[in-house]
Structures are given as structure tokens and as C-alpha cells.
Structure 1
Amino acid sequence: MAEVKGKLYLIPTPISGSEPENVLPQRVIDITRHLSYFVVEELRTARRYLSRIKVQKPIDELVFFELNEHSQPEAVEAMLTPLLQGYDVGLMSEAGVPAIADPGAILVAAAHRKGIRVIPLVGPSSILLTLVASGLNGQNFAFVGYLPVKPDERRKRIRILEQRSRTEGQTQLFIEAPYRNIQLLKDLISVCNEQTTIAIATELTSADELIITKTVREWKNIPLPDINKKNTVFALLA
């Protein structure tokens, strides 16, 4: 008799302070409530969220594995144990969908190697929401993660991304540590060609949501919005 393996559910979570039922399908919440095993990026955040949606079991009876950029391969393999024993497991990011700008991809890859069924669930992605709300090219785009921290390297990277965008007609999307948002926006405005379009999307799905798309020339003629220490996605199209 073939062994029965559990399913790995990729569970999205809210990307702002929004109520889960306002940004997640009820089916996603229901599936999450009935799971007993979770792989999470940050334990405290996960426990808080699961309490918020009123999981079926007491929080202290749930089993958690922490997966982050420091997790070793053998630890990732151990996270597959419940799945191989027939239990379903939920993979949760700290915010948004797992495995995008998130270490969860290594667990998904390991699950595929073991023949475990992977089920992605529908939920908010700040990257895709930024793209669709920006008015930039949604037929050809790339998410390139974080830009370099050092100013000279960051500006050099911006020039490379702008040239790639110009050559390929490709929208470039990226993020920054929230406390460096203003400096990144200033660098974009100072480095890029005046005809290049820059979009920002801040605190998406929240009451403070802000989405602005303007050319560099237009950005130079308006006061910069207060995006300091706010979750923001940037996009450019040359």
C-alpha cells in the first residue's frame, strides 16, 4: 500500500493591519484554522495571527518550525517529517504570500523533491498589487529584491536596472528596509532619466494606502510623500 503524504499549504497572511477576512478568501482562513503543523518565518508573529483567526486547537498544542535565512539544510529536511507521516502543514510568511522575498522557497523545493503535493492559496502580494496598480508594463516585469545598502553601489544598481528596463521594456520592482525608503526615492529621482517613470506603493490594503506613479520630471516638482518607516514597493519603467 502506497504511503499517504500530507499536503504543504502555502498560506498567505495580511500585508497590513487589515482584518484577515477583508483581504483573504474564507477558504484560506478555514484551511489555516484546521491545521496543526506550521512552518513560519517568525514565531511570535505567526502565533499572534493564528490567535486572531481563532484556530481550532489551542495555540500551545500547535507544532511550529521556524524557517529563516539562517536555517540549515538538515533543519529544512526535518520540517518535512510531519508531511511524510501524513499530516498537512502550513507554510506562512510574516506578511503576504510565502516564498516570495521570503525563505519559504527552500521548503517548497524540498517538498517537491520528496513528491509532496504543494498547494498555493490565494492572498495579497504587495509586489503584484504594486505592479497592477502602477500602470507600468505588466506583460514584462522583474522583481529584483533589495538594492545595495551602500549609496554608490545603490546608485550604480539603479542605473543598471534603468538600462535593463529601457532595453527590454521591462518593469523593475524592488523593496527597501522601510527606514531607508526616502533615501532610495531620492536616489531614483536624482539618478534616472527625466522620462523614466517611478511608482511607489505604500502600506497596501491598509487605510493609509498610498500609490503614486509619475515620471522623474514630475517627481522633481512635487513634495516627496512621507514613506519613512512604511512598507513600500518601488517600480520603474524607462
Structure 2
Amino acid sequence: MLLNSDQYQDGSGTLYVVATPIGNLADISERAIQTLTSVNWVAAEDTRHSKPLLQHFAINQSLISLHEHNEAARSEQLLQKLLAGENGALVSDAGTPLINDPGFVLVKRLREAGVRVVPIPGPSAVITALCAAGLPTDSFSYQGFLPAKSNKRKLRLQQLLADSATLVFYESPHRLLATLADMLELFGAEREIAVARELSKQYEQFVSGTLQEVHDFFKENSDKVRGEFVLMLKGADLEKDEVQSTEFDPMINAMLKQNLPVKQISEIIADVLSVKKKQVYQRVLELKDGSLL
């Protein structure tokens, strides 16, 4: 079905998707304040979190909860309000809504119903971290949060081994070291990474270097494993026609630890990296039978 944002339901209102500060309240835009002040209601991921934000800017607005557990039902309720001519705003706990936050179900439903959806741009942790990380930004891939369990996390990371774009992840303090350890195992000690924490807040910090260096830093400085983290991993630098066999090592070792057969490992890597299976097979044998394991 073709969805044209130039065509709306007659008499319907507008939903404004409003970005809010990720830490520093001074980062809110004048347009965001004007929008939040003028709408009939604000749909918030956590009303208890958003209420102090609105109060800080003297915005006395009706708040409606919209989170992952009630989004489907709430979207229908808000659609009816908008079709009746009301205007509303959508905010998340911090940053730009829908970016790893609720809102997709609502926006999709409104677009399908012909209700106008207008973005009010502003802070986003992904972009804020990338612009100061010192890693390539001409191509990046936002991956959100990785799986909590190590085996599933490793499987997801294995799928990204040959991605040449800068990889961006969110991570929580209690999983930071485990995630860095899994990345170290799969991507190798020399892959570059930058970790940003507490963006725009008093204790904002960027730590960058090799995976080994950054992992060791946070392991030795447990007082820094606090706050919210953005992990930015440099993409693969693989010339497909001239791949060095040692570049397979992290991926091979990870699969050998899972007791996968040599032939299967060779087929998987050859397919993912588009290299000759014979070249990979030889390296798998060397690591399986040699002292490198």
C-alpha cells in the first residue's frame, strides 16, 4: 500500500515525535518546548520519568503512558484521539523516540490510517557518540542492544564479522565487560573500538583503542563501569581477494570452542567472507591441531 505523507485524514490531528535530552537539559530545542506546550497530550515511555522534564520547562501537560507492554492497545486509543482532531506528542525517556525505544507500532498504525506524523529532531545517543569517537562515519550500522546471554551474543557478533561499516551498540554497565570479552574473542585483540559513557552529562567519557586495551581499561577501572554506554567498533578491513588467513582466527577459534566440525567451520567462513574454502580449511586444521588453540 502506497503511503503518501501529503495526504491525510480530513479533520485529524498530528502526532509529533519529539526528541528530548539524553542527559543535559540545555540540549532541548526551542521547537521541542513549543511543541510539547501546544499539544493536547504527551505519550511517554515512563510518565514518572517524563513528568520532571516537563515540569523543569514549566510545561503542564497531560501524560499518557506508552511502553512496550501496552503499545498495541494504546496505539488504537491514541489513533482515535488524533482522528477526533487532537494533537499529541510522543517522547521516550531520553533521546529520539523509536531508536531502541517504543513508538514503532504507534507510528506505523498512524501512517496506515492517514494521520500526520511529524518528527521534531534533537538529541540521539548514537549520533552524539559517533561524531566524537574518531572512527569512520561514512558508513555505520546501528545494532541496538546485543542479546544478554553470551552464546546468543556471540552468534549475533559472528554475523557481523565481515561488516565493513562502523558497528554501534548500546550496552548496560552489568554486561559491559562480558560483551567486550566476547568481542575480543571474536574480532581479535587489535580491532579498534571506542566506548562512550554518560553522554552530555557531568562524567561524560570516551575510551578508545584496541579491543584488548579498552577491555583491560574497564576491567582495571571498575569505578568507570557506570552509566549508559555506546560501543562503536571499527568495521572489517578485508580485501576479499587478498584475505590473510590469520584474519579468520578469532572466528575459527570461537567455532572450534563450540565443537563444530572443521568442514562446517570452513564452509561458514568461506560463505560469510566470500573467500576460498580451501584457504580457510587449511587454517582451521592448523588451529585445531597446533599450539595456537
Report the TM-score when normalising by structure 2.
Answer: 0.70
C-alpha distance in structure 1 between counterparts of 2:203 and 2:84, whole Å = 44
C-alpha RMSD of matched pairs (Å): 2.1
State which structure, 1 or 2, has the greater radius of gyration over its C-alpha atoms.
2
Residue aligning to 2:226:
229
Residue aligning to 1:47:
51
User: For residues 219 and 75 of structure 1, do their structure 2 counterparts lie closer, same or farther at Cα, with a shift above 3 Å needed?
Assistant: closer
C-alpha distance in structure 2 between counterparts of 1:221 and 1:112, whole Å = 47
Kindly indicate whether residue 102 of structure 2 is the aligned counterpart of residue 103 of structure 1: yes
C-alpha distance in structure 2 between counterparts of 1:24 and 1:219, whole Å = 32
| Aligned-partner residue type, residue 214 of structure 2 | W
C-alpha distance in structure 1 between counterparts of 2:37 and 2:122, whole Å = 16
Kindly indicate whether residue 39 of structure 2 is the aligned counterpart of residue 35 of structure 1: yes
| Aligned-partner residue type, residue 178 of structure 2 | Q
Q: Report matched runs for 1:99-178 at 5 Å.
A: 99-161=98-160, 163-165=161-163, 169-178=164-173
C-alpha distance in structure 1 between counterparts of 2:218 and 2:170, whole Å = 21
C-alpha distance in structure 2 between counterparts of 1:223 and 1:27, whole Å = 39
Q: State the Cα deviation string for residues 9-60 of structure 1 (Å, max 9, x = none).
A: 11111112x22xx2122121122122231111111112121111111x4x5x
- Which of 174, 181, 194 pairs up with 1:199? 194
Residue aligning to 1:5:
12
- How far apart are 1:72 and its partner, in Å? 5.4
User: For residues 72 and 30 of structure 1, do their structure 2 counterparts lie closer, same or farther at Cα, with a shift above 3 Å needed?
Assistant: closer
- How far apart are 1:201 and its partner, in Å? 0.9
Residue aligning to 2:275:
none
Unaligned segments of structure 1, at least 5 residues? none
- How far apart are 1:230 and its partner, in Å? 0.9
Residue aligning to 1:23:
27
- How far apart are 1:136 and its partner, in Å? 2.1
C-alpha distance in structure 2 between counterparts of 1:93 and 1:227, whole Å = 26
Q: Does the CA-based 8 Å contact 2:195-2:229 persist in structure 1?
A: yes
SS in 2 for 1:214: strand
User: For residues 72 and 92 of structure 1, do their structure 2 counterparts lie closer, same or farther at Cα, with a shift above 3 Å needed?
Assistant: closer
- How far apart are 1:182 and its partner, in Å? 2.9
SS in 1 for 2:159: helix
Q: Does the CA-based 8 Å contact 1:180-1:229 persist in structure 2?
A: no
Q: State the Cα deviation string for residues 58-104 of structure 1 (Å, max 9, x = none).
A: x5xx2x33221112534311111221111110000011110110111
C-alpha distance in structure 2 between counterparts of 1:178 and 1:221, whole Å = 15
Q: State the Cα deviation string for residues 116-164 of structure 1 (Å, max 9, x = none).
A: 1211112110011122222223222111121121223323333332x13
- How far apart are 1:220 and its partner, in Å? 6.1
Q: Does the CA-based 8 Å contact 1:96-1:125 persist in structure 2?
A: yes
C-alpha distance in structure 1 between counterparts of 2:32 and 2:215, whole Å = 43
SS in 2 for 1:15: coil
- How far apart are 1:228 and its partner, in Å? 2.4
User: For residues 44 and 196 of structure 1, do their structure 2 counterparts lie closer, same or farther at Cα, with a shift above 3 Å needed?
Assistant: same
- How far apart are 1:108 and its partner, in Å? 1.0
Q: Does the CA-based 8 Å contact 1:37-1:89 persist in structure 2?
A: yes
| Aligned-partner residue type, residue 167 of structure 2 | Q
- Which of 158, 175, 183 pairs up with 1:188? 183
The structure showing larger relative contact order (alpha-carbon pairs under 8 Å, at least 6 residues apart) is 1
User: For residues 156 and 51 of structure 1, do their structure 2 counterparts lie closer, same or farther at Cα, with a shift above 3 Å needed?
Assistant: same
Q: Does the CA-based 8 Å contact 2:218-2:225 persist in structure 1?
A: no
Q: Does the CA-based 8 Å contact 1:189-1:219 persist in structure 2?
A: no
Q: State the Cα deviation string for residues 139-198 of structure 1 (Å, max 9, x = none).
A: 22111121121223323333332x132xxx111111123322233233333442233111
